[in-house]
Amino acid sequence: MPMIKINLMVEARAERAARAPLISFGAAKVNNYILLGLIVLGLAFVGLRYWKLSSTLASIKAEIVVNQREYDRLKPIIAEVEAFKKKNAELKHKIEVIEQLKQNQYGPVRVMDEVSKALPDLLWLTNMGLTGNVLSLQGQALNENAVANFISNLAASPFFAEPSLKIMSQDDRGVFTFDLSCTFTQTPREAAPAVSGQRS
């Protein structure tokens, strides 16, 4: 009896040893299938992504072609608009130059006219000069009130800023000599009422 039991154990071990490689081979095969499936899925994802990017690129290229055609169509019109803008700017500059020349010619005449209107009685000018827009006036008067009235009349003119009296002196004869300046403007402001005693 003991001999039979030993033989059965040996046969069982031999049978298990014969079956072991088959089980191990089956597990490796399943792992290979899983790995192959993952590779296929990865390639499918990459292919889908590539297809989407290719479609987007093709759409962008088509849009570029359309925009280029539209630009080519509008290019002559754009050139005409730019030429018109340039010509318009040149004409505007010419008008500004002409207006400036007119103002420069008109300025001295306006200065003399406004100064003449501002001269009161008992006062006369001995010198007048215009440097840029600064007007210098020298003259004489028989009393201080005449000088004060002259300054007030200049200040009331819409073409002069507030005049500044630099010097005023009186000689032995009682005649007052004065030197004043003011700013002349081409654009008149709102005029103030003149002081009485102004020459008509």
Distance CA 130, CA 134 (A): 6
Calculate the CA 96 to chain-centre distance.
23
At residue 200, the pLDDT reads 43
Distinct helix (H) and strand (E) counts, the chain = 2, 4
Backbone φ and ψ for 182, nearest 5 degrees, come out as -155, 170
What's the CATH architecture for 119-183? 2-Layer Sandwich (3.30)
pTM: 0.46
Distance CA 54, CA 48 (A): 10
State the first-to-last Cα distance of the chain, in angstroms, to the nearest integer.
164
**Strands lying side by side in the sheet with 134-141:** 123-131, 134-141, 176-183, 164-170
Q: What is the pLDDT of residues 8-65, one digit of tens each?
A: 555 555 555 555 544 444 566 777 778 888 888 888 888 888 888 888 888 888 888 8
Range 130-134 contact pairs with CB under 8 angstroms and sequence separation of 24 or more? 130/184, 133/183, 133/184, 133/185, 134/181, 134/182, 134/183, 134/184
Residue with tokens 């849009």: 63
Distance CA 119, CA 44 (A): 102
Task: Spell out the domain ranges in the chain.
Answer: 1-87, 119-183
Distance CA 195, CA 146 (A): 10
Query: 2-118 vs 144-156: helix axis angle to the nearest 10?
Result: 140
Q: What is the pLDDT of residues 124-182, one digit of tens each?
A: 999 999 888 899 999 999 999 999 999 999 999 999 988 999 999 999 999 999 999 99
Which residues is 123 bridged to in the sheet? 141
- Burial of 120 from C-beta contacts in 10 A (0-12 / 13-18 / 19+): buried
